[in-house]
Amino acid sequence: MNEPDNSSSMHVAYFVEHAPGGLVQKGLCFMLVLSVASVASAKEPPHYQSGKLLQMNSVPCGIAEKDAKTLTGELLGTDSSHKRTEELLCQEYILESETVTYRIRPKDDKHPVLLPVGQQAQFFLQKDKMKLRVEDLDNKEREYSVVSMMPRENSTAKAEPPRAKLQ
Q: What is the pLDDT of residues 58-109, one digit of tens each?
A: 999 888 887 766 666 666 666 566 677 888 889 999 999 999 999 999 998 7
Whether residue 79 is contained in a domain is answered as no
Could you give the CA distance from residue 146 to residue 133 in angstroms, rounded to a whole number? Answer: 15
Position 40 scores a pLDDT of 54
Q: Are residues 18 and 60 in the same domain?
A: no
Count of the separate structural domains present in the chain? 2
Could you give the CA distance from residue 136 to residue 158 in angstroms, rounded to a whole number? Answer: 31
- pLDDT tops 50 at residue 158: no
Helix (H, G, I), strand (E, B) or coil at 136: coil
Residue-number span of the structural domain to which 20 is assigned? 9-41
Mean pLDDT across 19-47: 63
Could you give the CA distance from residue 157 to residue 150 in angstroms, rounded to a whole number? Answer: 13
Q: Are residues 134 and 58 in the same domain?
A: yes
Closest Cα to residue 51, out of 99, 110, 108, 2? 99
- Provide the pLDDT confidence category of residue 27 given band limits of 50, 70 and 90: low
Please give the residue that has the higher pLDDT: either 87 or 1.
87
Q: Are residues 56 and 29 in the same domain?
A: no
Please give the residue that has the higher pLDDT: either 102 or 165.
102
Q: Are residues 135 and 58 in the same domain?
A: yes
Position 154 scores a pLDDT of 74
Between CA 96 and CA 93, with CA 159 as vertex, the angle to 5 degrees is: 10
Position 36 scores a pLDDT of 62
Query: Could you tell me the sign of the dihedral formed by the alpha carbons of 86, 87, 90, 93, in that order?
Result: negative
Position 22 scores a pLDDT of 57
Could you give the CA distance from residue 92 to residue 57 in angstroms, rounded to a whole number? Answer: 5
